[in-house]
Amino acid sequence: GPGRPPRAGLAGELLVGVDGGRLTIAAPDGRELHREPLVEALQTLADARIAHARLGTLLLVRVRPYQEETERHLVVHLPTGTVTRIDALGQACLRLPADQGVAFPGGCHLVDGTVRTFDQPVDGLVYERTVLSPNGEDVLYEFRSPTDGRALLQPYNSVRQEASAPLPCQGYALLADGTLVALRPAEDGPTRLHPVQLWQTPFTSERFAAEQPPGSGPLARIGNADLVRGLADCLALARLAAAGADTP
């Protein structure tokens, strides 16, 4: 209407504005979904740098307001209009298997709207590599600091669509049978003793997995990839049904 501050359209789904000293995100009908203060109140939409990307039900928005050093990262779950500020997406933004959502240092955001974050220091961490389990079910994301070498190992299970607590370490080795040997980070500087943790993981080598006895029965004939997708879909439907039953 007349006098309304200009807003930028994002993928035909949302409107973003930087008026009145606030960053705002609104639905197409003008209903405000999110607001947060700006450092520089006197700025226009043309002063801000805005980018966005769509992944299923998620809209990822990156905004760098006028005269601010930090880029703000917001994730909008379009079916509910829920907006979550996740600046760690600026360090790394990874697509989860089967487009189930996005992972970032310290957590993940699923397309069903679930947000999982862990209380771990993630400043300075960048994406290093992804390790896949031979069964196609598990993924391990490694984030590492290029300055001090500390790492964060973040597992994700695509069948349960669940992120487990990440493991901080100073270094690690992944053996052929899936044994993970992690060197705990030193909390008080150099030390004579270096605690080591041992974890049994599904991240075996392809050769080790091939040497294991084959499975039997009808499910074994389907193949791991199709079986993983099917189980993931069944569990997702079960969660949706349970959520619907809990809704008054």
List the chain domain ranges.
1-85, 122-243
Residues 157/136, Cβ–Cβ less than 8 Å: no
Q: What is the pLDDT of residues 139-176, one digit of tens each?
A: 999 999 999 889 999 999 999 899 999 999 999 999 99
Least confident of 83-97, 124-138, 226-240: 226-240
Mean pLDDT value of segment 176-197: 83
Residues with Cβ within 8 Å of 125's Cβ and at least 6 positions away in sequence, in order, are 91, 92, 105, 143, 144, 145, 150, 152
Residue 232 has pLDDT above 70, yes or no: no
Residue 15 has pLDDT above 80, yes or no: yes
> Locate tokens 């069964």: which residue?
135
Mean pLDDT for all residues in the chain: 86
Q: What is the pLDDT of residues 33-65, one digit of tens each?
A: 999 999 888 887 888 899 999 999 999 999 998
Residue 4 pLDDT level (bands cut at 50, 70, 90) = low
What pLDDT, on the 0 to 100 scale, is given for residue 1?
Answer: 40
Q: What is the pLDDT of residues 77-116, one digit of tens each?
A: 999 999 999 999 999 999 999 899 999 999 999 999 999 9
What pLDDT, on the 0 to 100 scale, is given for residue 193?
Answer: 78
pLDDT over 70, % of the chain: 85
The burial of 135, by beta-carbon neighbours within 10 Å (0-12 exposed, 13-18 middle, 19 or more buried), is given as: middle
Residues 163/235, Cβ–Cβ less than 8 Å: no
The pTM assigned to this predicted structure is: 0.82
Residue 222 pLDDT level (bands cut at 50, 70, 90) = low
